[in-house]
Amino acid sequence: MRILLASSEVHPFSKTGGLADMAGALGKTLARAGHEARLVTPLYPRVREQFPEIRRVDWRFDLPLGARRVQAELWALEAEPGLTAYFIDQPEFYQRGALYQENGASYADNDARFIFFAKCVAHLARYLPWRPEVVHVHDWQAALVPALLRQQQRAEEWWRPPRTCLTIHNLAYQGIFPQASFALTNLPPEFFTMETAEFYGHLNCLKAGIALADVITTVSPRYAREIMTEEFGCGLDGLLRRRQGRLVGILNGVDYDFWDPARDPFLPCAYSAGRLDGKTACKLALQKELGLPVTNAMPLFATISRLAEQKGVDIQLGALEEMLSADLQFVLLGSGAPAFEAGYLGLARRFPSQVAVRVGHDEGLAHRIEGGSDFYLMPSRFEPSGLNQMYSLRYGVIPIVRATGGLDDSVTDFTEDAARANGIKFYEYSSRALAKGIRKALALYAQPELLRRCRRNAMKLDFSWERAVGEYLKAYEKA
Ligand code: ADP
Ligand code: GLC
């Protein structure tokens, strides 16, 4: 099948979160399975420096964006044998300090930046000599593509236009802008109605995609059910219920090329389920790196995360406050809302021999933390899929998760299946419930035999992308 994937971030070229990991891995796995997959993404700073093999393509965009016309160039590289990645080069929009926001504030022209991106994707789908059968768009930044394709099809003869698939990675981000931004789409007014892009008088990019895509996927079966409820639906549950015949939940996979402790170049010591002594060496090296007391006598808990409401920062800070009187260490790697960063930094100041906090984005450290920790805390309020709990499982780091979305779908608690347990789940969204989970972890750490079994269960799980790709192919067929 010929599939054009469009995402505002793609690992290893750009990344703020799991969307990048997912888009990169999906493209790669489709190509390895013999499909013709191509990726489109914006050209951000440093990509050209880091990937010198990237080449300019003989192609120019000159597209309307409201009243003006905007030009862009196209670059490409072979990301993987059989997988071409295209980069939209529009320096005014994409050569910035970050992808979407700086100092907690979104860029004021994100409407123009990503409406333009969606237009470039639709343009490529229409005019590339290579004709995609499916255009698979991700999140609000590309969600206007189905509307743009539909309009293009109406405006001119287009024999067999591609089908569209929209993946919702996070319903909390919808790309909502003032009504005036709709003019930037240059779409006729019938696309700004209650059935399409209009949302309480505003433009809602994701809503247009949900309304018009041929199939809609989200990143876990449980989250697919959750978003059809008022509690998780972020105002779009009614529309999602109407489209439920077209909605499917597919749990994300793990790219074991990057996340495997047996061959992870970031780790000081390789290990696997059968050779766990390497894990202890990783832990001691990590403690040293973080300036924590070097010891295996107490467990090391970890979190690597965007610091946003979604991730349960408030209950985590509360639970740690309560639990730091016990013998445990905690490391956080993350960045996000300044108030949340300050909360963790405050904890590190007050408990310097137990808590280490690193603010920022650091891929190597993320791997070393997975390699060296014993337990992984993920107390999310909601979690469409979540990747770090699955990385943790492979690294033998027991996840402690709130039973929501993909966390519930990927972790098995002792109460669900004692023989196959690989993690600890809690249900209520409260510091108390999380603290109880941490207490269970301390008890588990005190029983080495049980801990070893739980680790083995975790490490032998297989969330490889081949399974998920099979499900995406079914969704494409359906489209
Ligand atoms: P989300 O996409 O909601 O942020 P996921 O669990 O799906 O959550 O994916 C997060 C991804 O981003 C993981 O690959 C994680 O390791 C990575 N990540 C998050 N914060 C950091 C950070 N500060 N440094 C390095 N990697 C990070
Ligand atoms: C979103 C979600 C996360 C998911 C990721 C990749 O960022 O918050 O749960 O794993 O997308 O699909």
- The pair of structure tokens assigned to 322 is 């309560």
Burial class (CB within 10 angstroms; exposed 0-12, middle 13-18, buried 19+) of 231: exposed
Contact 149, 164 (CB under 8 A): yes
Q: How much is the average pLDDT of 418-441?
A: 98
pLDDT digits (tens, 9 = 90+) for 355-401: 999 999 999 999 999 999 999 999 999 999 999 999 999 999 999 99
Which one of 169, 358, 388 would you pick to mutate in the ligand 1 pocket, going by the greatest count of ligand atoms within 8 A of its CB?
A: 388
Query: How many Å lie between the centroid of ligand 2 and the Cα of residue 108?
Result: 24
Q: List the beta strands (DSSP E) in 169-260.
A: 176-177, 198-199, 202-204, 215-218, 247-249
Answer whether 18 contacts ligand 2 (Cβ < 6 A). Answer: yes
Q: Is 252 in the pocket of ligand 2 (CB under 6 A)?
A: yes
Residue 341 predicted with pLDDT over 90: yes
Cβ–Cβ under 8 Å, residues 187 and 151:
yes
Query: Around Cβ 340, how many Cβ atoms within 10 Å?
Result: 23
Give 423-432 pLDDT, tens digit per residue: 999 999 999 9
Q: Is the model's pLDDT at 156 over the cut of 90? A: no
Judged against a pLDDT cut of 90, whether residue 352 lies above it is answered with yes
Secondary structure (DSSP) of 422-454: -BEEE-SSSHHHHHHHHHHHHHHHT-HHHHHHH
Torsion angle defined by CA atoms of residues 402, 408, 411 and 415, in that order, rounded to the nearest 10 degrees: 80
Is a pLDDT exceeding 90 seen at residue 104? no
- How is the chain split among helix, strand and coil, in percent rounded to 5? 40, 25, 35
Probe ligand 1: pick from 305, 331, 365, max atoms within 8 Å of CB?
305
CA of 21 to the centre of ligand 2 (A): 9
Check: CB of residue 421 under 8 Å from CB of residue 457: yes
Distance CA 33, CA 400 (A): 34
Residue 253, ligand 2, Cβ within 6 A: no
Q: 69 CA distance to ligand 2 centroid (A)? A: 34
- CA 191 to centroid of ligand 1, rounded, Å: 34
- Using CB distances shorter than 6 Å, the residues near ligand 1 are 17-19, 21, 304-306, 333-335, 361-363, 366, 385-388
Q: What is the pLDDT of residues 183-210, one digit of tens each?
A: 999 999 999 999 999 999 999 999 999 9
Q: Whose CA is closest to atom 20 on ligand 1?
A: 305
Side chain identity at 139, as an amino acid letter? D
pLDDT the model gives residue 157? 85
The label of the residue with tokens 């960045």 reads 335
Specify the length of the chain in residues. 479
Strand partners, 413: 423
Grade residue 103 by pLDDT with cuts at 50, 70 and 90. confident
Q: What are the distances in angstroms from CA 308 to CA 160, 321, 396?
A: 42, 19, 26
pLDDT, residue 424, reads 98
31, 83 contact by CB (below 8 A): yes
pLDDT at 420 over 90: yes
pLDDT attached to residue 31: 98
CATH numeric code, 2-253+466-478: 3.40.50.2000
Say yes or no: CB of residue 168 within 6 Å of ligand 2. Answer: no
Q: Is the peptide bond before 12 cis (omega within 30 degrees of 0)?
A: yes
Nearest ligand 1 atom to alpha carbon 335: 23
Q: Measuring CA to CA, how many Å separate 186 from each of 111, 112, 144, 192?
A: 13, 12, 12, 11
Residue 453: per-residue pLDDT: 95
Tally Cβ neighbours within 10 Å of residue 433: 16
Name the residue of 19, 138, 389, 391 to mutate for ligand 2: max ligand atoms within 8 A of Cβ: 19
Which pLDDT does position 460 carry in this prediction? 95
Ligand 1 atom, smallest distance to 370 CA = 16
Residues of the chain with CATH 3.40.50.2000: 2-253+466-478, 277-461
Quick one: residue 103, left, alpha or beta (phi over 0 = left, psi -120 to 50 = alpha)? left
Q: For residue 388, which ligand has an atom nearest its CA? A: 1
385 CA distance to ligand 2 middle (Å): 5
CATH topology (fold) of 277-461 = Rossmann fold (3.40.50)
Show the DSSP H helices in 324-424 as ranges.
338-350, 363-372, 388-394, 405-410
